[in-house]
């Protein structure tokens, strides 16, 4: 009697933790060159809003030991490790509209958003 071994399935490549659009990278370059020179943007999530979580961005001088370093389009951003599972595959963009402008996130892990758009859930 012989045992038949099935070959191991090849591992599927994980999507990048986060990518930046050209608009987001242009805006970050501008911010890094001006008032935030020497700082790095850290992205995380926190409990907030009616759907449960919201994106949190802050400027830091040095990365925390637990920060994930994301380099895209020649720029570096940090991702709080506690947020990394919620952000895998997220695309960060920058939008300028008539009355508002800011960074936006297209997150494939989101299952829904609140009506005002301030929070999301996974």
pLDDT tens digit sequence for 10-34: 776 667 889 999 999 999 999 988 8
Establish how many alpha carbons lie within 13 A of residue 2's alpha carbon, considering only the half-sphere containing its beta carbon. 3
Question: Domain extents for the chain?
Answer: 22-113
CATH of 22-113, one of 3.65.10.10, 3.90.25.10, 2.60.300.12, 3.30.70.60: 2.60.300.12
Higher pLDDT, 59 or 8: 59
Q: Which residue's entry shows tokens 């380099």?
A: 71
Nearest-10 Cα torsion for 98, 100, 106, 111: -110
| Inter-residue contact 17 to 77 (CB < 8 Å) | no
- Mean pLDDT across the chain, nearest whole number? 83
The predicted structure's pLDDT at residue 63: 92
pLDDT over 70 percentage in the chain? 80
Region 73-87 average pLDDT: 90
The predicted structure's pLDDT at residue 90: 92
């Amino acid at each position: 009697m012989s045992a038949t071994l099935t070959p191991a399935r090849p591992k599927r490549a994980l999507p990048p933790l986060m990518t930046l659009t050209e608009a987001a990278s242009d805006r970050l370059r501008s911010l890094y060159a001006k008032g935030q020179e020497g700082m790095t943007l850290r992205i995380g999530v926190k409990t907030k809003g009616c759907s449960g979580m919201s994106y949190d961005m802050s400027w830091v001088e040095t990365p925390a030991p637990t920060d994930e370093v994301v380099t895209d389009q020649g720029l570096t951003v940090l991702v709080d490790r506690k947020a990394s599972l919620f952000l895998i595959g997220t695309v960060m963009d920058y939008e300028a509209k008539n009355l508002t402008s800011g960074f936006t996130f297209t997150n494939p892990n989101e299952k829904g958003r609140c009506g005002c758009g301030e929070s999301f859930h996974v």
